[in-house]
Structure 1
Amino acid sequence: MDLPDSSDLSRRDYLRALVAAGGTAALSACLDSSGESTVPTGDPNARPQRQHAWTDVLATDEDGNPLNPEHHVLLSLELATDVDDDSREQVETALRSLESAYAYDNQGLLFTMGYTPSYFDALGVDSPIPEPEALTTIESPEFDDFDALVHLASDTPDVVLEAEEALFGDVSPNNTEMEATFEGVFDRGSPRRTGFVGAGLPAQHTDMSGVPESVPEDAPFFMGFRSGFAESQAPESRVTIEEGPYAGGTTTHVESLTLQLRTWFEQDNHFQRVAKLFSPDHAENEQVGSVGENLSTSTGVAGEITEDTATDAREFGTVGHAQKAARARDEDGTPPLLRRDFNTVDGDRPGVHFLAHQRQIEDFVRARQAMAGEDLAGDGVGQRLNNGILQYIFVRRRGNFLVPPREKRALPTARV
């Protein structure tokens, strides 16, 4: 992939474009632009056993909502050798080397390593997670069928680039020796996916054909509103596997979406966008603000607004995405998903990599089908039209992953 031209971009856009490009040349250009890294080194023994345990070390916004790191890489991997004690030790040593190189926080490196059903099929053991499949009648996605996925995340752009290259022996991360790499155990797979989160970042992509000038200047996500409110996120304990050989781990689903932003911003006004993203009640009572700043730590959809979903569909001819999704919450009101999704411009088009952790993939399926609202179609809303935000999002890919606890993250082989 060609490197971006720094003269045509702001510094922040340039750094994000370099993360999207990947490779040692992009890393070198990133270091030249951002200067020498000041990220502290880390201690593998200080990291928790749950790979997905990021919340306690994430930064927070002014309301106390956890902030997803700004830069992300989803690195696909293909198994290149037999799984045995030697290859398992090599992978674990490589991962511990990364943990030694970077601090365990959003300025350093946060990462998870997960495995697909294809990996377990290659080993000849039953997969602990199901194959991905289409979850609604209005999608026909491609499926992730490589073997493993590493999710790299940091507020520091050169960290995710450097960590990726270090796994294959091309650099010494943060001036720290890699005692082993993935070389010979894994090959790089496809697709390589990247993205970003941050207030004002989506609006800096209005030079792209699919991103209109009307994206709010301070919006952190392409749809124009804040996301990841603490009340609408599952606690890490809710998404942690409780029993069996992978107790302490979690599952991950990655749903890659294309966004129809011009229609979203130029066909609908702010009132309609609030009604479709949150609920008609939110729009009527002006609860949200310009980008969701009035919502503090809660979307406010739980309870009566969720219970009124079908009624709102009939009476208003519109139903909100958030109120539909809340129908999948546990009986005590706890959300089943811990979302760590992010914007993307992969393929030079605006989108979202919707990454969610949950105890079992069935939890994601239940939540995603609630979001789809197919049960509401014909009851005042269409299958897509005015049915939340379905008119503006299109599923391209799906993938299911087992994320074991750290002690079993290196080429797991347990039978279930």
Structure 2
Amino acid sequence: MTTAPALTDSQHAWESTFRHDDLGRPLPPKFHRLLFVNATATPGAAGAARLEAVLRRIDRRHPWGPEGLLFLVGWSPGWFERHTDRTPPVNRAVKMARWEDPAIDDFDGFLHLAGDREEIVEEIAAGLFSDSDLDVREHLQLAETRTGFVGEGLPRERLAELDIPEQSPLLLGFRSVLRGSQAPEPNITIAEGPYTGGTTAHVSRIELNVAQWHTRPRDEQSALLYAPTVRAAEADAFHDDARSDYDRADQTLAEHGVIGHAQAAARARVGDVPLINRRDFATLDGGVPGTHFVSLQRELRDFNNTRAIMNGADAAARNARVGVRHRNGINAFMNVTRRATYIVPPRPLRSFPFVRGAR
């Protein structure tokens, strides 16, 4: 019998609970819900106490981990502007590529629920906004729900008409979460100030043209996703980090006239360590294949820098065969439709942080 890890002040401390496959690769929780919420009114001290009582009830009800439930709560710049006397600790999201035109969400907050048992995730998501002992509708209104999945066989099962490899956990047919391709959780944890132990989140909705993507040979997919020097069989065997030859990007760009998605993004690493920790998952919300991209980082500028470098805009200026989207990573296959930013406070501050009327 295994014992669930003790809860820490960091709501985002999930990775110690992850299982691993035979190659030692981490296996994130399979099923996810993003619940976007607005306060019905400024809830005050009583509302904060009620929400915290509900969240502690969830803490006790299911073990902390994929076999039970993982969750976190984040709060937007709008929350701080409308319901506190504090300056927002994060800025609002902005457009991040010249070809995108996303809606910028302005919800008060969001909850990210995740686990390997979809029925538990659904039970908690439904219980928060229905007649149950978890009901928070007196103070929170559910504005939007986003759903998704990540795990071997799930994309092929849910999009059977496409030739997605059986072993792939995501819609593009490859694995993205490896130990070396993630910022370690201590690196994304705020180290000082009122939000010590917390982190920041950037949450976006990305539509993917998977039908067009899966007409391409897998070696071409691997070149675009990783680097032009990486073949699909090699990518399938990655177990610690995804080799992307980012330190040879200029050379491979000149030789192949292609820059890979991971290759471009990895140039943002510091000391060969990524700046962001991805909690993304596949979705078919609204019948449209895509990704709900949840990025955690100590400061939002870490995400902004990584995304700006990932765009590969400089590659188009260095090789005439490369455009801002053409032969430039997966830019031609993705369209960001929603963006938002949040602070994910430490656990003691997770319930209506700094709300007016509370001490």
TM-score class normalised by the smaller sequence: over 0.9
Where does residue 26 of structure 1 map in the other structure? none
Partners in 2 of 1:181 and 1:49 — Cα distance? 24
Where does residue 201 of structure 1 map in the other structure? 154
Contact 1:72-1:194 within 8 A present in 2 as well: yes
Name which of 289, 292, 310 aligns with 2:233: 289
Name which of 295, 311, 317 aligns with 2:251: 311
| Counterpart amino acid of residue 382 in structure 1 | G
Q: Which structure 2 segments of 5+ residues have no match?
A: none
TM-score, reference length from structure 1: 0.81
Within 5 A, what are the aligned runs for 1:202-217? 202-206=155-159, 212-217=161-166
TM-score, reference length from structure 2: 0.94
Whose strand proportion is higher, 1 or 2?
2
Within 5 A, what are the aligned runs for 1:268-347? 268-283=216-231, 288-289=232-233, 292-301=235-244, 305-330=245-270, 332-347=271-286
Does residue 1:249 correspond to 2:198, yes or no?
yes
Partners in 2 of 1:147 and 1:298 — Cα distance? 36
Partners in 2 of 1:361 and 1:89 — Cα distance? 29
Does residue 1:227 correspond to 2:176, yes or no?
yes
Tell me: higher relative CO, structure 1 or 2? Use CA pairs within 8 A at least 6 residues apart. Answer: 2
| Counterpart amino acid of residue 331 in structure 2 | L
| Counterpart amino acid of residue 262 in structure 1 | A
Where does residue 374 of structure 1 map in the other structure? 313
Partners in 1 of 2:326 and 2:345 — Cα distance? 39
Contact 1:116-1:145 within 8 A present in 2 as well: yes
Contact 2:44-2:355 within 8 A present in 1 as well: no
Where does residue 7 of structure 1 map in the other structure? none
User: How far 1:79 moved relative to its partner?
Assistant: 0.6
SS of the counterpart of 2:156?
helix
Where does residue 354 of structure 2 map in the other structure? 413
Where does residue 116 of structure 2 map in the other structure? 155
User: How far 1:52 moved relative to its partner?
Assistant: 0.3
Name which of 72, 77, 83 aligns with 1:117: 77
Partners in 1 of 2:136 and 2:126 — Cα distance? 10
| Counterpart amino acid of residue 293 in structure 1 | D
SS of the counterpart of 1:282?
coil
Deviations 1:349-394 (A, max 9, x none): 1101111110011100011111111121132211100001111111
Partners in 2 of 1:311 and 1:138 — Cα distance? 26
Partners in 2 of 1:344 and 1:41 — Cα distance? 31
Does residue 1:265 correspond to 2:225, yes or no?
no
Deviations 1:286-337 (A, max 9, x none): xx418x3311111022xxx21221332232111111111110111x211111
Partners in 2 of 1:263 and 1:165 — Cα distance? 35
Partners in 2 of 1:185 and 1:414 — Cα distance? 12
Does residue 1:398 correspond to 2:339, yes or no?
yes
Partners in 2 of 1:289 and 1:248 — Cα distance? 40
SS of the counterpart of 1:391?
helix
Contact 1:41-1:102 within 8 A present in 2 as well: no
Within 5 A, what are the aligned runs for 1:168-183? 168-171=129-132, 178=133, 181-183=135-137
Contact 2:45-2:355 within 8 A present in 1 as well: no
Where does residue 16 of structure 1 map in the other structure? none
State the identity %: 36
Contact 1:81-1:184 within 8 A present in 2 as well: no
Where does residue 140 of structure 2 map in the other structure? 186
Where does residue 59 of structure 1 map in the other structure? 19
Cα 1:369–1:311, aligned 2, differ >3 Å: closer, same or farther?
A: same
User: How far 1:42 moved relative to its partner?
Assistant: 7.8
| Counterpart amino acid of residue 125 in structure 1 | R
Name which of 97, 122, 127 aligns with 1:136: 97
Where does residue 189 of structure 2 map in the other structure? 240
Contact 1:77-1:148 within 8 A present in 2 as well: yes
Where does residue 10 of structure 1 map in the other structure? none
Cα 1:339–1:159, aligned 2, differ >3 Å: closer, same or farther?
A: same
Aligned residues: 352
Partners in 2 of 1:393 and 1:183 — Cα distance? 35
Partners in 2 of 1:111 and 1:41 — Cα distance? 18
Contact 2:162-2:214 within 8 A present in 1 as well: no
Partners in 2 of 1:80 and 1:41 — Cα distance? 38
Partners in 2 of 1:338 and 1:396 — Cα distance? 21
Contact 1:42-1:100 within 8 A present in 2 as well: no
| Counterpart amino acid of residue 195 in structure 1 | G
Q: Which structure 1 segments of 5+ residues have no match?
A: 1-39, 172-177
Name which of 44, 51, 54 aligns with 1:84: 44
Deviations 1:116-165 (A, max 9, x none): 11111102431100001101111000112110100000100110111112
SS of the counterpart of 1:243?
coil
